[in-house]
Amino acid sequence: MGKKIMMVDDAAFMRMTIKNALTKAGYTDIVEAEDGQRAVEVYEQEKPDLVIMDITMPNMDGIQALQAIKSKDSGAKVIMCSAMGQEAMVVQAIQLGAMDFIVKPFKPDRILQTVNKILG
């Protein structure tokens, strides 16, 4: 597929779940970060084609990380993930430049549908 995807979530289980879904669909170039601060560092090093990022994380949350990534690369493609009941944060993320959001818990096909839509 040739597209690099970065997954950002403080829960290793969530990263593994998303990685498994992406790998089965043929996306093999996957990098990970465990919090927003690390996400910004990894983004700069790896320049992924797409970021899938949780909103609620330690050190730097997904909203702050989205702002930091977008300030460095206005063309960054970011999908936010959030648990139910975080509608205000989702709206804020979209206003800050997130391309889409996925509500947790999610089904693997919902992730792939969104990823394929954005990466074309």
What tens digit of pLDDT does each residue of 46-69 get?
Answer: 999 999 999 999 999 999 999 999
On the question of pLDDT at 85 being above 80, the answer is no
Residues β-bridged to residue 31? 6
The residue among 105 and 39 whose pLDDT is bigger is 39
| pLDDT at residue 104, as a whole number | 84
On the question of pLDDT at 1 being above 60, the answer is no
Supply the pTM of this predicted model. Answer: 0.94
Q: Which of 10, 18, 4, 8 is nearest to 112 (CA)?
A: 18
Unique residue bearing structure tokens 């992730």: 111
**Which structure tokens are listed for 58?**
């330690």
Residue positions counted in the chain: 120
